[in-house]
Chains A and B, each alone.
Chain A
Amino acid sequence: EPEVTQTPSHQVTQMGQEVILRCVPISNHLYFYWYRQILGQKVEFLVSFYNNEISEKSEIFDDQFSVERPDGSNFTLKIRSTKLEDSAMYFCASSRQGTIEPQHFGDGTRLSIL
């Protein structure tokens, strides 16, 4: 069964550094998402992306965050200047037809900011 793949599985970064989290969505999916989950807490929506542009973003997704689909397969989340509170598990998800089908989640990247 096709999967959403994310790399790296764990990223350790010094505060203030830039980090890029990478995702390869399922190949025939058109809608892409990033979520985060702080340890022990609920999953929080960050941003959705469709047709090569952001379709929605949450309050968490401020100017230090950006997303890109640099080619036909990758979908990246960049955090420009990391803060301690950015430490979380970041999940990429994709869906074929928006909200009438489930969003399929990757295994996540655990981001640790020191």
Chain B
Amino acid sequence: ELKVEQNPLFLSMQEGKNYTIYCNYSTTSDRLYWYRQDPGKSLESLFVLLSNGAVKQEGRLMASLDTKARLSTLHITAAVHDLSATYFCAAYSGGGADGLTFGKGTHLIIQP
């Protein structure tokens, strides 16, 4: 059974700082997704990582995937208040099963 672990689960940081959210998964998966969720809102797709070594960047966010280590990271550069949200990673277990397994989410607060 695929398990997805995120850490930290809660992160409070100051504007302008850099930080990384980690996502580990328990079994082989070559597809990893990052989503953002604002309070009371839906999930917004940020990145889809489809292969080992994949790196994607959008603005101040950069995501990477290391399938050998079963690890994905979401790096935040020079954080701004608007990035405050909950960030979920999700993995696809493969083998014809197409439901995503989500981590518990990282609740990120960025303070001025």
Contact = CB atoms under 8 A, between A and B. Distances in A.
A pairs with B: yes
Interface of A: 31, 33, 35, 41-48, 50, 55-56, 58, 91, 98-108
A44 B42 contact: no
Contacts of A41: 104
Interface of B: 31, 33, 35, 41-45, 48, 50, 88, 90, 92, 96-105
Contacts of B92: 99
The SS class assigned to the A binding surface is strand
Contacts of A99: 31, 92, 98, 100
Nearest to A61: B99
Contacts of B50: 100
Contacts of B99: 33, 35, 45-48, 56, 58
A43 B87 CA distance: 12
A31 B31 CA distance: 17
B98 A55 contact: yes
Nearest to B46: A102
Given A41-B104, A99-B92, A105 B42 contact: yes
A12 to B, nearest CB: 17
Contacts of B45: 102-105
B22 to A, nearest CB: 16
B46 to A, nearest CB: 9
Contact of A44 (B43, B98, B102): B102
B102 A42 contact: yes
Contacts of B35: 105
Nearest to A57: B99
B88 A56 contact: no
